[in-house]
A and B are shown apart, each in its own frame.
Chain A
């Protein structure tokens, strides 16, 4: 139990499907993040939320749509994805900004777009 839970763990979707990834943190943190990990690439930050407000969008295509209804939950809505979007999507949370605020990661959702 890492304190950050992601569902589903695996997802296969067609390019015309609409699906959502869910993340929940039980750590009382104020910041939540979506990262993408593609093969042999660094983790890429996608979105940052602080106190439910989006503070960063790292030039992510609009086919990825985040939602943060409260500080404990984060969603990533997916629609009309491309095969190259297949990757491991990681959610993370941290207490907030500043030194010492290490991010805690969920186990990730392995997404395959067919």
Chain B
């Protein structure tokens, strides 16, 4: 039973345009959500997070939106840059615990 799903295995966008990566979850106990970025041959690195008490969190070019009623979150990258090309993982956690449940990842390719 996969509780965090990223239905798009890949996404390709043009440099300078917006990248939108989507994530859905099923467990209503999740109340903290994170995005990680992973380059080949490296471990995932933390990018941005959002608590369930918010519906938006912004950090520079990255914004995460949370729709609790739809159990959906999205990561917006604008403007997209070639260096953003990586696999992006969505993850979720319950406040009471430390374990992260990850999605399958979305490979983002930003074309120059």
- A residues touching B (Cβ–Cβ < 8 Å)? 2, 4, 6, 31, 33, 40-43, 45, 48, 50, 56, 90, 92, 94, 96-108
Question: Is the pair B98, A101 in contact by a Cβ cutoff of 8 Å?
Answer: yes
Binary per-residue interface labels of chain B (49-72) against chain A in the complex, 1 for a CB within 8 Å, 0 otherwise? 101000000000000000000000
Residues in chain B near residue A108, CB distance under 8 A: 41-43
Q: How far is the CB of B53 from chain A (nearest CB, A)?
A: 9
Q: Which of B89, B102, B103 gathers most chain A CB within 10 Å?
A: B102
Question: Is the pair B46, A103 in contact by a Cβ cutoff of 8 Å?
Answer: yes
Total number of B residues with any Cβ neighbor in A under 8 Å? 28
Question: Majority SS of interface residues in chain B?
Answer: loop
Residues in chain A near residue B104, CB distance under 8 A: 40-42
Residues in chain A near residue B45, CB distance under 8 A: 2, 105
- Within 8 Å of chain A (Cβ to Cβ): is B8? no
Question: Is the pair B43, A90 in contact by a Cβ cutoff of 8 Å?
Answer: yes
Question: Is the pair B44, A90 in contact by a Cβ cutoff of 8 Å?
Answer: yes
Question: Majority SS of interface residues in chain A?
Answer: loop
In angstroms, Cα B91 to Cα A102, docked, is 10
Q: How far is the CB of A8 from chain B (nearest CB, A)?
A: 13
Closest to B104 in A: A42
In angstroms, Cα B2 to Cα A41, docked, is 10
Question: Is the pair A105, B43 in contact by a Cβ cutoff of 8 Å?
Answer: yes
Question: Is the pair B95, A48 in contact by a Cβ cutoff of 8 Å?
Answer: no
Question: Is the pair B34, A96 in contact by a Cβ cutoff of 8 Å?
Answer: no
In angstroms, Cα B87 to Cα A43, docked, is 12
15 extra interface residue pairs, beta carbon distance < 8 Å, beyond A42-B103, A94-B98: A33-B99, A42-B4, A43-B102, A96-B98, A99-B31, A99-B51, A99-B93, A102-B34, A102-B46, A104-B46, A105-B36, A107-B41, A107-B43, A108-B42, A108-B43
